[in-house]
Structure 1
Amino acid sequence: MTLLGRFEEVLYKSKGKPFVFDHEDMRTLHFDGRFIQSAMSISAPDQLMLSYTRAMMAFLLFHPQPRHVVMIGLGGGSLAKYCYRKLPTTRITVLELESDVIALREKFAIPDDDERFQVIHADAADYLTAMEERADVILHDGYAADGLAPSLSTEDFYQLCHAALDRDGVLVSNLWGDAADLVPMMKRLYAVFDWRLWWCSASGSFNRIVFSVKSLDDAMFRSVLAKRATQHDLRHKLAFCDLVDRLQTACGKSRSDFELIAGADMLGAFMQADYSGIEEE
C-alpha cells in the first residue's frame, strides 16, 4: 500500500477523532486530513521536530529561569516534554480542552503527572480566570482542526493571559495564517501589551511566533539579547542566534507603523518559506 493509501486508511478509521500516523521514524498527530498538528521522532521523542516549537522556546531569551510555565494546548506534547526534560526546576501546567487529545499522550511519550508536571482537562479561559499562582510564561498553541480557536484570540482572552502572568511574564503565541488572519490578532495583542511585542516567522514555515511581554526594560533587553541567545544555543542548540537576527519589534513604533510592519513581515515570510517542508499549524 502506498504512503497516501495508508494515511487515508488511518484517517477513515479515526471517525473524526484525533489520530496518530507513523512513517519510518516519524510519528505525527492529525485532527483531520489537512495538517500536521505535531511531529515526533520515535527514536528521539524529546526532540523538537517542527520549527515553530523551536522558535517558541525562545521565551528563554525573555525569561531565562521560569518557575512556572503554563501551556495552552497539549497536541503531541513536544514543548511540554522538552521543557520537562530540559528545565528541571520549572513547573509545567498543560491545559487541553479535548479529552481525545489527552488520550493519546502515551503515544507521544508524554510523561505522567508528577509534582512539577500536570496535564489538565480544562477550558483555558476558565482555568486562567481561577488561577491563583501567576505564571512566568504562557505558551499559547491552542489549535483545533480549523486553526486557532476563535475564543482564544480575542482581546478579552489576551487580557486574561496578561492578568495571569507574573510581573515579568511573557505570553508566547503561535499564530498561523495570512496577513488578513494575523494582523487583527497582532492588533489585539498590541492593545493589551502595548509596544512590548516581538515576533518572527518560524524558519521554513508560515507560523509566526509572537512574544508579548508584560513588563520589560527595552534598553536592558537589547543589550543582553544576543548574549542570552549565545548562552542558550550552547545548551539547547535551537538556533536562537539566528532567531534574534530575524526578530521584529513594536518598540519605538507608532501604532500605524506597527500595523504596516506586522502585515509586510508576513508577506516576506510567505515568499521565503520552504515549500519542501511539512505544513505546520
Structure 2
Amino acid sequence: MSEAPQAPARAGLLRTWRKLELTFTDDTVQTRMSRWAPYRLVLPYTRSMLAAFWLQPRPECIGLIGVGGGAQLKFCHRYLRSTRLEAVEADPQVLALRDAFAIPRDDARLEITLGDGADWIGSRAGRYDLLLLDAYDADGIPPALCTPQFYADCRAALREGGVLALNLYQVPMAEHLAQLRELFDGLVLLLPEPDLRNQVVFAWNSRRTPGTPDAALAGLAWSARRQLRPSMLRLQAAWQERAWRFS
C-alpha cells in the first residue's frame, strides 16, 4: 500500500505595521511586502531573479510560474508598461490573499491562472521572452516542477533569445544544474544568494554578449533602476568569470 500524500503546507498572512509576509506552517517566508511600498522588491532573491533583464532587456511577454505574494509580478506590471504578463499559481489559499498583497486585477496586460504549473507551461511553446520560476513552499519545490520533462517544457516555452530564471530552494543543486546544462547546451549560470537558502539560476537558449547593466536599465523609472542595478552588477561579474562559455 502506498503512503498517503503529505498535506501541503498551509499559506498564512503575517501582518505588522511595516510589512506583510506570506508564510507557511513552519514559518518559512515566501514573500515579504512593505506596506508603504508594495511594489518594492524586499527579498534579495527577487531582485536577483529580475537581473535577468540584463540578459533580456526588452521582454514583450513574461511568464511566471508561482505567484505567491506577487513581488516580481507587481514590479513588472508597474514598470514594464508594454510587457504582457501571464502567471500560474497552484494554491488557491495563496490566490485568496491577492488583494492583501496589492496584486493587480487581471487586465489587458495581466492574466493569472489557478492551475498546475507543469500542465500550464506544457501548452505554451514559443511564447515567452522571459520565464520566471519561483514556486516553492515549506517543503521546497514541488516534484512536478523540477523534472527533466518540466525543464524541457520551460525551454520550449521560450522564444528565440529567451531567458529562464529560477529560484531553486532546497533541491539537490548539482542534479538540477546538470539537467539544465544538458537542456540549454551549457548556457546556464548560478548566482548564489549569500545567507539564504535560495539559489538563483539563469538559463538561456542562444549565445549572446550582453551590454552594460546601465544600458539594460535605460528607460526604466529611477526607483526600478535603483533596485535592480546591484543584482545586475553581480550577475555581470559572475558572467565575466565564465564569458568564454557563453559568447
How far off its partner does 1:233 sit?
9.7
Check the 8 A contact 2:9/2:137 in 1, yes or no. Answer: no
| Paired residue secondary structure (1:37) | strand
How far off its partner does 1:215 sit?
1.1
- 1:76-155 to structure 2, matched below 5 A, reads 76-131=69-124, 134-155=127-148
Distance (whole Å) between structure 2 residues aligned to residue 107 and residue 23 of structure 1? 13
How far off its partner does 1:99 sit?
1.0
- 1:14-29 to structure 2, matched below 5 A, reads 17-29=10-22
Q: How many residues align?
A: 233
RMSD over aligned Cα atoms: 2.3
What does the per-residue CA deviation read over 1:211-233, in whole Å, with 9 as the maximum and x for residues that have no partner? 1001123xx33xx2455467579
The residue identity in structure 1 corresponding to 2:189 is: W
Check the 8 A contact 1:97/1:124 in 2, yes or no. Answer: yes
Distance (whole Å) between structure 2 residues aligned to residue 30 and residue 70 of structure 1? 23
Distance (whole Å) between structure 1 residues aligned to residue 221 and residue 242 of structure 2? 25
* Residue 64 (str. 1) matches residue 57 (str. 2): yes
Per the alignment, do residues 241 and 150 of structure 1 end up closer, same or farther by CA in structure 2, a change over 3 Å counting? same
Per the alignment, do residues 47 and 160 of structure 1 end up closer, same or farther by CA in structure 2, a change over 3 Å counting? same
What does the per-residue CA deviation read over 1:174-215, in whole Å, with 9 as the maximum and x for residues that have no partner? 01237xx21111111111112111221135423211110011
Check the 8 A contact 1:196/1:251 in 2, yes or no. Answer: no
Residue 201 of structure 1: aligned partner: 192
Residue 261 of structure 1: aligned partner: none
| Paired residue secondary structure (1:57) | helix
Residue 275 of structure 1: aligned partner: none
The residue identity in structure 2 corresponding to 1:208 is: Q
- 1:251-262 to structure 2, matched below 5 A, reads 252=244
Q: Report the more deviating stretch, 115-124 or 236-245.
A: 236-245
Residue 236 of structure 1: aligned partner: 225
Unaligned runs of 5+ in 1: 1-14, 254-281
Q: Percent identity?
A: 32
Distance (whole Å) between structure 2 residues aligned to residue 16 and residue 185 of structure 1? 23
| Paired residue secondary structure (2:53) | helix
Structure with higher Rg: it is: 1
The residue identity in structure 1 corresponding to 2:204 is: V
Residue 75 of structure 1: aligned partner: 68
Residue 180 of structure 2: aligned partner: 189
Corresponding residue to 2:150 among 134, 148, 157: 157
How far off its partner does 1:143 sit?
0.8
Query: Higher helix proportion, which one?
Result: 1
* Residue 211 (str. 1) matches residue 211 (str. 2): no
Give the TM-score, by structure 2 length. Answer: 0.86
Check the 8 A contact 2:18/2:36 in 1, yes or no. Answer: yes
* Residue 245 (str. 1) matches residue 237 (str. 2): yes
What does the per-residue CA deviation read over 1:75-122, in whole Å, with 9 as the maximum and x for residues that have no partner? 100000000001111100111111111111001000000011111011
What does the per-residue CA deviation read over 1:119-157, in whole Å, with 9 as the maximum and x for residues that have no partner? 101111211222266111110011133011111111111
Per the alignment, do residues 102 and 249 of structure 1 end up closer, same or farther by CA in structure 2, a change over 3 Å counting? farther
Distance (whole Å) between structure 1 residues aligned to residue 168 and residue 52 of structure 2? 15
How far off its partner does 1:168 sit?
0.8
How far off its partner does 1:16 sit?
6.0
Q: Report the more deviating stretch, 29-38 or 110-119.
A: 29-38
Give the TM-score, by structure 1 length. Answer: 0.76
* Residue 32 (str. 1) matches residue 21 (str. 2): no
Check the 8 A contact 1:195/1:252 in 2, yes or no. Answer: no
What does the per-residue CA deviation read over 1:20-69, in whole Å, with 9 as the maximum and x for residues that have no partner? 00123011001212310100001111100000000011111111010110
Per the alignment, do residues 202 and 185 of structure 1 end up closer, same or farther by CA in structure 2, a change over 3 Å counting? same
Distance (whole Å) between structure 2 residues aligned to residue 119 and residue 27 of structure 1? 21
